[in-house]
Amino acid sequence: MDNNATKESWKTRLYAFLQNLGKSFMFPIATLSAMGILVGIGSAFTVPSMVERLPFLKIPIVSAIFNFMNTVGSFGFTYLPAMFAMAIPFGLARRNKGVGAIAAFAGYIALNLGINFMLKMRHQLVSPAKMSAAGQANVLGIQSLEMGVLGGILVGLITYYLLEKFQEIKLPDAFSFFGGIRFVPIISVILESLIGLIIPFIWPTFQAGIVGLGHLIQRAGVFGPFLYGIALSILKLMGLHHILLAMVRFTDAGGTAVVGGKTINGALNIFYAQLNAGVPISHRATAFLSQGFMPTFMFGLPAICLAIYVTARPENRQRIKGLLVSATLVAFVSGISEPTEYLFLFIAPFLYVFHTIMQGLSLSVMMILGACMGNTDGGVLDWILFGILQPHSKWWILIPVGAVWFAIYFFFFRWYILKKNVKTPGREDAGDVVMTQHAGIYDPKVILEALGGADNIVSLDNCVTRLRLEVKDPNKLDEDKLKQSGALAVMKAEKSVQIVYGAQVQSVKDGVEKEMGNSAIIG
């Protein structure tokens, strides 16, 4: 009995760790997405065809502004591995997050210095012209191996471990100044520089495995994006989809291309590099990016909301209108799907299976038709910035595909809801807890009370749409009250809890934290 409990506890801890790891990836990914908008605008108004079409773009100050936007936007692409290294301990640690980030940055530099030292000792450093072919790169001014974000992830995980282990270390009196949190950057630099000495011996084998995975995905042709879309939809249920997103976007698993004489790995990295360089965009790269999600996010999800509205009881439609309009706008503009998905996921899992297959088909269809639009979100902003404003993007393909997707989603969901009498919002039986928009929604006092009070919360954080918690006693959660407060879904894995609030989750988390602080003061 104890062994089973221990095993279950280990599984739960691993699951919680992977969830938090995926959440940590959102820091650099969100920054990169924002910087991508700058690249999209800057590149759109500096390409020769656009300059010829709009003569005012030839004015030096106007041209300089858009080139500056392009330059600043490339920040995320250039320093992404270091950002991943810093984001992981910052996102995973419960205390001294800033110390973890600083230690990770120092450790990342030390790792590459160690790699550089060993390459020099083995006479493997090559000239700048041959670095790309040799798998080497200039990393923060250090000639090292091109490990991409995997190098940053490795450093981030090691630094997080060191932070948790040594942040309270006590040293002898003569060295006490270097104890506690000051010891963490020190041990990070020492240990990760030593790991850097080992990396040149093991990296080629590890890299070959990733390249093999990338070739497997690429050789799958139109089935590659299809399987990718399905995998993301399944992993999203567990909050682990960000890990797969990062692998395909930033490593060899998402493809490899040579841009401007430099080898670039990862679908999103390739897209940004080609966009910046003003060269033709790779259809193989964009097949895994936002173009494939646009039919689903911009057309399919709004169609689901419309189907839910028309199948609701007439007297309930006004009550649910705000909820559905909010979910539609978030999906259409920002490409955030959870507020719509959690309207039907738990009451009609078959509809989620249908939605998953349609999402996979969406990626494959857009690839087959030759669309060439990148970035991360799949909403209307991506369509405008990386489609309409970009040459050769075939942005217009989305219109007929989107119309078909809207019709398929609407008629299938309407048919299934009515046939199976699915209790989507507006169709609940008397006495059921209902989801709606009302004056008291997202009330932090109500939410904290429903969570069992401040004393029941061990840790509190959030990702794009979910409140993520660890609680002392999950039985103290009042799920009905949480849903009345605006929660779309509550998921528990022992003491790890996820509560889906949609786009307002950041304000929910901030409000609950404030209430927890007030509770501590009163107590």
pLDDT digits (tens, 9 = 90+) for 357-383: 999 999 999 999 999 998 878 889 889
Which of 87, 85, 79, 92 has its CA nearest to residue 107?
85
In a domain, 436, yes or no: no
Angstrom distance (rounded) from CA 202 to CA 259 = 27
- 131 and 40 within one domain: yes
Contact yes or no for 457/94 (Cβ under 8 A): no
- 254 and 122 within one domain: no
End-to-end CA distance of the chain: 38
* pLDDT at residue number 317: 87
Let me know if 323 is exposed, middle or buried by CB neighbors in 10 A (0-12, 13-18, 19+).
buried
Which of 226, 262, 232 has its CA nearest to residue 247?
232
* pLDDT at residue number 52: 78
- 230 and 213 within one domain: no
Domain boundary residue among 431, 462, 493? 431
Q: Residue 20 corresponds to which tokens in the numbers above?
A: 């938090």
Q: Which domain holds residue 227?
A: 221-431
- 239 and 191 within one domain: no
In a domain, 63, yes or no: yes
Strands (E), 199-276: 256-259, 262-265
Q: Tell me the per-residue pLDDT of 20-65, one tens digit each, with 9 for 90 and over.
A: 777 787 778 777 777 777 877 887 787 776 777 788 888 889 889 9
- 355 and 341 within one domain: yes
- 230 and 176 within one domain: no
In a domain, 437, yes or no: no
- 355 and 269 within one domain: yes
Active site residues: 463
Angstrom distance (rounded) from CA 328 to CA 301 = 7
Strands (E), 328-485: 457-462, 466-471
Domain boundary residue among 188, 220, 252? 220
- 277 and 229 within one domain: yes
pLDDT at 15 over 50: yes
Let me know if 349 is exposed, middle or buried by CB neighbors in 10 A (0-12, 13-18, 19+).
exposed
- 141 and 101 within one domain: yes
In a domain, 51, yes or no: yes
Angstrom distance (rounded) from CA 319 to CA 2 = 49
Q: Tell me the per-residue pLDDT of 392-402, one tens digit each, with 9 for 90 and over.
A: 889 999 999 99
Report the SS3 class of residue 390. Answer: coil
**Region 218-239 average pLDDT:** 84
Angstrom distance (rounded) from CA 127 to CA 114 = 19
Task: Compute the half-sphere exposure of residue 489: CA atoms within 13 Å on the CB side of its CA.
Answer: 20
Q: At what angle do helices 80-92 and 97-121 cross, to 10 degrees?
A: 140
Angstrom distance (rounded) from CA 207 to CA 185 = 28
Q: What is the dihedral of CA 173, 178, 182, 187, to 10 degrees?
A: -120
Q: Tell me the per-residue pLDDT of 127-152, one tens digit each, with 9 for 90 and over.
A: 887 887 778 888 888 999 988 888 89
Q: The tokens 């169709």 sit on which residue?
A: 427
Number of domains into which the chain is organized: 3
- 381 and 348 within one domain: yes
* pLDDT at residue number 42: 80
- 190 and 251 within one domain: no
In a domain, 439, yes or no: no
Q: Tell me the per-residue pLDDT of 152-210, one tens digit each, with 9 for 90 and over.
A: 989 999 999 999 999 999 988 888 888 899 999 999 999 999 999 999 999 888 877 77
In a domain, 438, yes or no: no
Write the DSSP assignment of 412-455 as a string of letters: HHHHHHHHHT---TT-PPTT-------TTTT-HHHHHHHTT-GG
In a domain, 70, yes or no: yes
In a domain, 71, yes or no: yes
- 204 and 71 within one domain: yes
pLDDT at 499 over 70: yes
pLDDT at 436 over 60: no
* pLDDT at residue number 135: 80
pTM of the model: 0.73
* pLDDT at residue number 269: 86
pLDDT band at 523 (very low <50, low <70, confident <90, very high): very low
Report the SS3 class of residue 165. Answer: helix
Stronger pLDDT, 493 or 200, i.e. the higher one: 200
Report the SS3 class of residue 172. Answer: coil
**Region 466-484 average pLDDT:** 82
* pLDDT at residue number 306: 96
* pLDDT at residue number 522: 44
